[in-house]
Amino acid sequence: MPYATVNDTRLYYEDAGTGPALLLLHGWGASGRVWQSSLPDLVRDHRVITLDWRGCGRSDRPLDGNTIAGVTADLVAVIETLGITPTVVGSSLGGVFATELALARPELVEHVVAVDSPGYWPSTGMLETVRELREKLVDDRFGTVAGWVPGWFGPKASPGLIDWTVRQLLDSGVYIDALFTEITTYDPRPRLKDLKVPITYLHGEVDTQIPLEVPRACAAETPGARVHVLAGCGHIPHQEDPRAFTAALRAITA
């Protein structure tokens, strides 16, 4: 199994295919497995790296470094270790990391695709929801995750996919919960005018976690940004409708 040791943390990744590089970043508590339905098509003509970021999947679960800056630093180290300049595709919180990476180190990134991301919770009416979630995860992690995850998905998602997602999140490390405190004050919009890397916001039409108004507002602040909407999908379109997602990603990166 391939691991990269960066910032004293072993990170699991998978690397397949040849061609332009794609670095795929999952959302909170999940793993690189969330991209599995898109991989057989993408690896035909891309080098595709799926990474389990710290605290998640098969990577180490350290107490420290579970911050936006900490994970972004890990991404810098992984990209430099692999010697790539990828299109970085980030789902949900992974899209926050992708955006911050491009702002901090634009020379390392070819393009950003923010999938149902990023959020700016302080001004979308979700601030208290995120705060309450952090508390509920302490009081009843199992019940909270099981009750929360079904709302991520649109009508295309199967019950089996929802159950599998719950299991992944419950298997992740608990220290990543610290990110929920940090994102209560996160708002990238004032800095997006300085983004030097092309960015596309690829968003599920019926996402209730991060409404469609969010990527549209971000795109309005970002020179040259585009918004691509996937009909009938919720917060995880690459799992809900992988054919439509992969076709959209191909069109974006062509």
Q: Which of 40-54, 122-136, 140-154, 201-215 has the lowest mean pLDDT?
A: 122-136
Phi, psi dihedral angles at 78 (to 5 degrees): -65, -45
Confidence of residue 1 (pLDDT cuts 50, 70, 90): low
Number of domains in the chain: 1
169 vs 63: CA distance, rounded Å: 17
Cβ-in-10-Å burial (0-12, 13-18, 19+) of 123 comes to exposed
CATH number for 70: 3.40.50.1820
Q: Is the pLDDT of residue 129 over 80?
A: no
Cβ-in-10-Å burial (0-12, 13-18, 19+) of 44 comes to exposed
125 vs 52: CA distance, rounded Å: 30
Summarize the confidence of residues 31-36 as an average pLDDT: 97
203 vs 78: CA distance, rounded Å: 26
- With a pLDDT cut of 90, the percent of the chain lying above it is 87
Which residue in 76, 15, 4 sits closest to 42, CA to CA? 15
pLDDT digits (tens, 9 = 90+) for 51-65: 999 999 999 999 999
End-to-end C-alpha distance for the chain, whole angstroms: 31
Cβ-in-10-Å burial (0-12, 13-18, 19+) of 57 comes to buried
Range of the domain at 200: 3-253
158 vs 53: CA distance, rounded Å: 26
Contact 200, 229 (CB under 8 A): no
Q: What is the mean pLDDT of the chain?
A: 94
254 contacts: CB under 8 Å, gap ≥ 6: none
Pairing between strand 21-25 and 3-6?
unpaired
Q: Is the pLDDT of residue 122 over 60?
A: no
